[in-house]
Structure 1
Amino acid sequence: MKANDIVLCALFAALMAVGANVSSFLMIGGVPVTLQLMFAMIAGGLLGSRLGALSMTAYLFIGLAGAPVFAQFKGGPASLLSPTFGFILSFILVAYASGKILENRHKKTAYLFAGIAAIFFNYMIGTNYMYAAFKWWADAPDGFSYAAAWSWMAAYLPLDLAVTVLSLAAIPKIQAALRHRGLKSSNSQKVM
């Protein structure tokens, strides 16, 4: 790994901590806003699949070690029992998938596929983990079902779609800015 890549991995692990806690300050229509999906996708797009996933894995282990980097400034091994921990796990695959798609494609449609993959993996892993947590170890609300878990996610979908579009639009601009300053991300030559 190059020193630049190590710094960018650490930067994205830190940005995930900030993105997790933006919701403490910003709500839109009662829905908390986080920037984690955005940072996971940009990490994959800039760093590539391997380093992007590594930066999200570093974020995960920093939180599990006890640093208050997860949403609502939480951290520690007890986070594994949180119904929303599946979303944290999903960011590793989000970064990997979006990075892999953008590494291997030179067409603009690659950005569309990277966005679809990111939302798909985020929702599939996160929502299924949430459902399992509520069914097996967390206190599920009355009438909770698999359909209810997915209906809860409907409130987040418009925001996640907007964040996905912004993220994918930002990746080439960030790569161009890095190249202009004489820096290269791991994925910049492959995507451009």
Structure 2
Amino acid sequence: MHKTSANFQASMNTRQMVLIALMTAVTCILAPFSIPIPISPVPISLTNLVLYISVFILSWKQATLSYAVYLLLGIAGLPVFSGFAGGLAKVAGPTGGYLAGFIFLTILSGFVIQKSSGKYRYLFYTLGLLLGTAVMYVFGTFWLAAQMNLTFAQGLAVGVLPYLPVDIIKIVIALVLGPILRKRLCNIH
């Protein structure tokens, strides 16, 4: 009986590691694809969509770890950031605050999603994703404003407002796909 329990625990750990690695790989593959916006140095990327989905599949700690590995790969120079860029210069540039803010997106959104259940869980899922996105926007806006010598309001106009409609669509996609993938990959309802 003890051996079966140990095997089950080891397989769960292996499964979790595989899912973390899988989400890191998906982030590395999809995040570089981006659409530049003429009025902003911040492109539209798929990074937050992947993170929105990862917080359904992984615990908040695992999703944060997955993103941290992605971030470290990018800092090390792999071309995994938007526009197939890599290196410390990307993190130190105008979009670095968003890259840092994504850490808090995974923590906050993941925590809320992980703790949500019952009849109102989709409401809490939505609130969790919106809260994580708002905190990410704050970090990104402060950094962007400081880098470009803008006021916070100007930073919002350039680094947040043009992205709201697309990010709302990404949240809706995550609200549809996230629970389905969670159920299929993790057997969690």
| TM-score normalised by L of structure 2 | 0.82
| Alignment RMSD (CA, Å) | 2.1
- 1:110 match: 124
Does residue 128 (structure 1) correspond to residue 142 (structure 2)? The answer is yes
Evaluate the alpha carbon distance shift between residue 28 and residue 88 of structure 1 in structure 2; reply closer, same or farther with a 3 A threshold: closer
Does residue 146 (structure 1) correspond to residue 152 (structure 2)? The answer is yes
Evaluate the alpha carbon distance shift between residue 27 and residue 86 of structure 1 in structure 2; reply closer, same or farther with a 3 A threshold: closer
How many residues align? The count is: 172
Distance in 1 between the 2:148 and 2:98 partners?
Answer: 14
Does residue 119 (structure 1) correspond to residue 133 (structure 2)? The answer is yes
- 2:50 match: 39
Distance in 2 between the 1:112 and 1:103 partners?
Answer: 12
| TM-score normalised by L of structure 1 | 0.81
- Name structure 1 gaps, 5 residues minimum: 136-143, 179-183
Distance in 1 between the 2:48 and 2:91 partners?
Answer: 19
Does residue 176 (structure 1) correspond to residue 183 (structure 2)? The answer is yes
Structure 1 range deviating more: 63-72 or 113-122: 113-122
- Secondary structure of 2:140 counterpart: helix
Deviations 1:92-112 (A, max 9, x none): 211121111011110222112
Distance in 1 between the 2:102 and 2:153 partners?
Answer: 23
Moved over 6 A (4+): 27-31
Deviation at 1:70, TM superposition (A): 0.8
Deviation at 1:7, TM superposition (A): 1.6
Deviation at 1:27, TM superposition (A): 6.7
AA partner of residue 128 (structure 1): F
Distance in 1 between the 2:143 and 2:109 partners?
Answer: 21
Do the aligned residues in 1 keep the contact of 2:91 with 2:99 (CA within 8 Å)?
no
Q: Which of structures 1 and 2 has the larger relative contact order (alpha carbons within 8 angstroms, sep 6+)?
A: 1
Distance in 1 between the 2:136 and 2:173 partners?
Answer: 17
Do the aligned residues in 1 keep the contact of 2:105 with 2:129 (CA within 8 Å)?
no
Distance in 1 between the 2:37 and 2:155 partners?
Answer: 20
Report the structure number with the largest CA radius of gyration. Answer: 2
Distance in 1 between the 2:112 and 2:51 partners?
Answer: 14
- Name structure 2 gaps, 5 residues minimum: 1-11
